[in-house]
Chains A and B, each alone.
Chain A
Amino acid sequence: MAPRVVVIGLASDFGCQVQMTNIEDDLLDVLGLIDLQYWQLASSGHMPDSYDVAIVEGAVTTLEHIATLERVRATASAVIAIGACAVTGGIPALASHGRLEERYSLVYGDGPSVAPGRIKPQAVDSVIDVDYRIPGCPIDMGEFVQVLSRALQGLSDHLPQEPLCAICKTKENVCFYERGEVCLGVLTRTGCDARCVSLGRPCTGCRGLAEDANLESALRLLDERGIDTSDVLVRARLYNTLEEAFTR
């Protein structure tokens, strides 16, 4: 029996779910492997009570999200968090600092009734255990297929640990720092094929802080190069505001 899969969206722009529809050539192969029971973005049905794999997009921003995740964890044998919002808190987590209510008022005016039970935004794994993570904004579909394949085979999660620079070198990109421009690739988890940098845009850190990254040294070295390191940290917080290392 094919594993029953559900796709759930929490607080996000659903960009990663849209990205999932972009598998194109491989979509039918992937759909052939699974019994897709519910896809919040693409199906009109209801969440089933029983399933095997839950793919979760988005950050946790309400009590309802917490309840949903607790149900998901109690039901699914494998939980896959996809996208920056789910993995690091991403953009929604920018609201986690300062006064949350003021932020809502600023956007929605007085007495906002949106998002009842709202809480400070957080990543999915701060609420429940997550088995597989696919970081990035949006996710890379090649990585999605590989991680889904790992989950279906019962292999453990295997996120790359090192920063982006190595793969970026193999693309023969000229380093942004040689031009005195900030690029977060030196701190950011690889796995995206250095796509942005190869297209001429510096890395914005959407895949989160790499375990191997040496933040202390990087900040010191950038400072020596005359780069404003407080600016580097502000940029790094865009997708990683919950990362303690970036909040000093």
Chain B
Amino acid sequence: MFFRIMDKSRVLDLVAGLSQDFEVLGPVSKGDAFVYQRIDDPADLRLDYDTTLLPPKKLFFPPEEQMMRFRVADNEVVDDEVYAAPRVIFGLHPCDINGLLLMDNVFLRDYVDPYYKARRDSTLIVGVSCTPQESCFCNAWNTDEVHWGFDIFLTDLGDRYFVSVRSVKGAELLDDHVETRPITDADTAEFQRVAREFEAGFSDELNTSQLPLLLDAKFESPIWDELGERCLSCGACSMVCPTCYCFDVIDRLEPDQKTGVRIRKWDSCQFTEFASVAHGQNFRESRASRVKYRYYHKQWGYLSKFERVLCVGCGRCARACLAGISPREVVTALEAGGVGE
């Protein structure tokens, strides 16, 4: 890793330059909220965004995508190509970069997912520092900082960016498209000050020590029934989660019934059909068991395999849940022994 300083005013140059060689995507405003979208005019890029409605997983693993086409007559696959244009995602926060790293474990390790991989391989990441919001708790999982998973990372120092360059491609992006200068001791000191200020900006510290043990010890706790009564089983939490990767695979015949498409779309463990199997058996019939499963999977199941929890503390689920169920509340309830008011 090496570091450079870039004047803030140069960001537009960088984005405009990148646009010549890549499709550039980044946060833009949508009403009062923000979404990751293709940047056609660099001025649309909103690096001051708080969070986006959907996480960047949508750019690698779309809500619905065609996996292949097939012929009905002979059952042959006719089209399973994945087209992924070279692109740069500009302006990811540390939580979302960490979210992608957690997704990588699922889609790129034991079973390599060609759809995800094609998009991942063709994408460069430019991260940007953020300001802790009320709903953020990334500090609980140490996902408030990133050490890899980006090509360039811009830390906001007021009038300039402290640019961390993580990859050769990242270095090339800078060299080709924007003027930067070497860092000075004063820049490093300011970087350090900003990092400490960021750390102090979180509203509270979530106590996550011994969480897996607590989860196991409180498997029969009434907490889950209380949460189950509240849960609306709408699946909003899974959709907005940067680390929820479950999908459903569906074959649809074209109107002429001669060809079909196999699609996959985001699924949620909060739906009754999620655990419904052949013969109508459903091993997670109750809402309480489904809410519980979500938390066990995220904070314990995934951890037991990858040594990280499957949550980056972005707070999107807390914002999206009409019932106000959030990891912060669940962890606090496990700690206190009840959901409370």
A29 adjacent to B53 (CB under 8 Å): no
A170 adjacent to B239 (CB under 8 Å): yes
Instruction: Tell me if B31 is interfacial: C-beta within 8 Å of chain A.
Output: yes
Chain A residues closer than 8 Å to B270, beta-carbon distance: 162
A169 adjacent to B240 (CB under 8 Å): yes
Contact code string B255-287 (vs A, CB < 8 Å = 1, else 0): 111000000001010111100000000000001
A163 adjacent to B240 (CB under 8 Å): no
A145 to B: closest C-beta gap in Å? 5
Chain B residues closer than 8 Å to A174, beta-carbon distance: 30-33, 53
Given A166-B235, A213-B232, check contact A29 B272 (CB 8 Å).
Answer: no
A172 adjacent to B256 (CB under 8 Å): no
**Which of B64, B236, B320, B323 is within 8 Å of A221, CB to CB?**
B323
A30 to B271, CA, bound (A): 32
Total contacts A to B, CB within 8 angstroms?
Answer: 106
A186 to B266, CA, bound (A): 18
Residue of chain B at shortest CB distance from A187: B232
Given A152-B257, A174-B30, A221-B230, check contact A165 B236 (CB 8 Å).
Answer: yes
Contact code string A180-207 (vs B, CB < 8 Å = 1, else 0): 0000001000000000000000000000
A218 adjacent to B232 (CB under 8 Å): yes
Instruction: Tell me if B165 is interfacial: C-beta within 8 Å of chain A.
Output: no
Instruction: Tell me if A63 is interfacial: C-beta within 8 Å of chain B.
Output: no
A214 adjacent to B231 (CB under 8 Å): yes
Number of interface residues of A (CB under 8 A): 35
Residue of chain B at shortest CB distance from A216: B229
B297 to A: closest C-beta gap in Å? 17
Chain A residues closer than 8 Å to B256, beta-carbon distance: 29, 32-33
B257 adjacent to A186 (CB under 8 Å): no
Chain B residues closer than 8 Å to A169, beta-carbon distance: 53-54, 235-236, 239-240, 320
Instruction: Tell me if B129 is interfacial: C-beta within 8 Å of chain A.
Output: no
Residue of chain A at shortest CB distance from B287: A214
Chain A residues closer than 8 Å to B63, beta-carbon distance: 167, 170
Instruction: Tell me if A44 is interfacial: C-beta within 8 Å of chain B.
Output: no
Q: Which of A126-146 contact B (CB under 8 A)?
A: 145-146
Given A33-B257, A170-B266, check contact A165 B232 (CB 8 Å).
Answer: yes
**Which of B229, B257, B271 is within 8 Å of A149, CB to CB?**
B257
**Which of A29, A30, A163, A217 is within 8 Å of B230, CB to CB?**
A217
Given A161-B273, A169-B240, A174-B31, check contact A145 B255 (CB 8 Å).
Answer: yes
27 sample A-B contacts, Cβ–Cβ < 8 Å, listed by A number:
A29-B255, A29-B256, A30-B255, A149-B252, A152-B257, A153-B253, A161-B272, A163-B234, A165-B234, A165-B235, A166-B238, A169-B236, A173-B53, A174-B30, A174-B32, A174-B33, A175-B322, A177-B322, A212-B271, A213-B232, A214-B230, A216-B229, A217-B230, A217-B232, A221-B232, A221-B322, A221-B323
Given A166-B271, A216-B229, list of 19 further CB < 8 A pairs?
A: A30-B255, A149-B253, A149-B257, A153-B257, A161-B272, A162-B272, A163-B232, A166-B234, A166-B236, A170-B64, A172-B30, A172-B53, A173-B53, A186-B322, A214-B230, A214-B231, A214-B287, A221-B322, A221-B323
| 10 interchain residue pairs of minimum CB distance | A165-B234, A166-B235, A170-B63, A169-B239, A26-B255, A29-B255, A29-B256, A172-B53, A212-B233, A165-B236
* A residues whose Cβ falls under 8 Å from a Cβ of B: 23, 26, 29-30, 32-33, 145-146, 149, 152-153, 161-170, 172-175, 177, 186, 211-214, 216-218, 221
